[in-house]
Amino acid sequence: MALRVHLRSLLVLGRVSNLPTVWSNCLAAWLLNGGVLAPTFLLLSAGATLLYTGGMFLNDAYDVEFDRQHRRERPIPSGKISVGTVWRFGVGFLLLGWLLMWPLGALAAGAALLLVVTIVVYDAIHKRTSFAPLLMAACRFLLYFVAAAATPNRVSHSVLWHGLALAAYVVGLSYLARGESRPGSGRHWPLLFLIAPLVANGLVNSHRNAAAWAASGWLVVWLCWCLRGMLKRPVQDVGRSVAGLLAGIALVDAAALPQLTAELVLVFGGLFVLALILQRKIPAT
């Protein structure tokens, strides 16, 4: 029983329910840049997993005083794990994740190092600055760039534009997420950033097959579902919208590809469903 409790604490700290979206980011950027599936993609995905998990561990380590006042159910304030252990895990995961990027090439490794720095800066200051959503968005954009740089090809304009559209989407959901602990903000105009991927889909790669357009359509449906009646919801329900939008990152990635095959529909759809299933066990935020 003690082992199970400790394992759950590690999973909660790492917010592993969001990992399917990290993998979908890697896959979308890899394919957008003309990459073919190879062992290096698995190395990329493993490194990205460690970087994300390490960043989430450090997030709780930096936020320990805030959580002791406002989120006492989190693993550290509830006494399930010590803050020192969380620091060691977080730093170790970030270091190992970056080392796994080394065989992917100098550009990928350099971009991964910048990603690590951005993750740490976000964790350190996100509770004290209104620009934190931009830092979170930069992390996702840099992950896109790292994945594209790991392919044998030069990073394409398509990757950059879709990476920026994803970053805009993350700005929107991150702004919404701040409402979980900062009620009464009232301004929802940044949520317009959520439609940036749809704009990019039409402008960057207009020659799309039917499955790609269907993915864009499903993304529209999911956005409407997550945001339905949001302006009238109590603040405690904001987390439901945020969790849904986080899982929706997999749909954003699927819709970014101009040519979707049946196999890719199953992969991205599976990652989307997996994120939703994991959220039932592990909080996404």
Q: What is the DSSP letter of 156?
A: P
Q: Is the pLDDT of residue 127 over 90?
A: no
For residue 200, the domain's CATH number is 1.10.357.140
Looking at the 3D structure of the chain, how many domains does it have? 1
Whether residue 114 lies inside any domain: the answer is yes
State both tokens at 178: 């701040």
Pairwise CA distance, residues 239 & 64, whole Å: 20
Pairwise CA distance, residues 152 & 191, whole Å: 36
CA distances from 71 to 66, 75, 76, 266, 284 (A): 7, 9, 10, 37, 14
pTM, full prediction: 0.92
Q: Is the pLDDT of residue 183 over 60?
A: no
CA distances from 96 to 92, 100, 138, 199 (A): 6, 6, 21, 36
Whether residue 148 lies inside any domain: the answer is yes
Whether residue 3 lies inside any domain: the answer is no
Quick check: 148 and 32 in contact, CB under 8 A?
A: yes
pLDDT tens per residue, range 43-89: 999 999 999 999 999 999 999 988 888 888 888 898 889 999 999 99
SS3 280: coil
- Residue count (the chain): 285
Pairwise CA distance, residues 74 & 67, whole Å: 7
What per-residue confidence (pLDDT) applies to 32? Answer: 96
Q: Say which residue, 237 or 218, is predicted with more confidence.
A: 218
Residue 14 sits at the vertex; the CA angle it makes with 137 and 62, to the nearest 5 degrees, is 70
Whether residue 2 lies inside any domain: the answer is no
Q: Is the pLDDT of residue 2 over 70?
A: no
Least confident piece of the model among 12-21, 158-167, 205-214:
205-214
Quick check: 208 and 158 in contact, CB under 8 A?
A: no
Whether residue 284 lies inside any domain: the answer is no
Q: Containing domain of residue 36, as a range?
A: 9-279
Whether residue 251 lies inside any domain: the answer is yes
Whether residue 115 lies inside any domain: the answer is yes
pLDDT band at 179 (very low <50, low <70, confident <90, very high): low
What per-residue confidence (pLDDT) applies to 229? Answer: 64
State both tokens at 171: 């700005």
Whether residue 139 lies inside any domain: the answer is yes
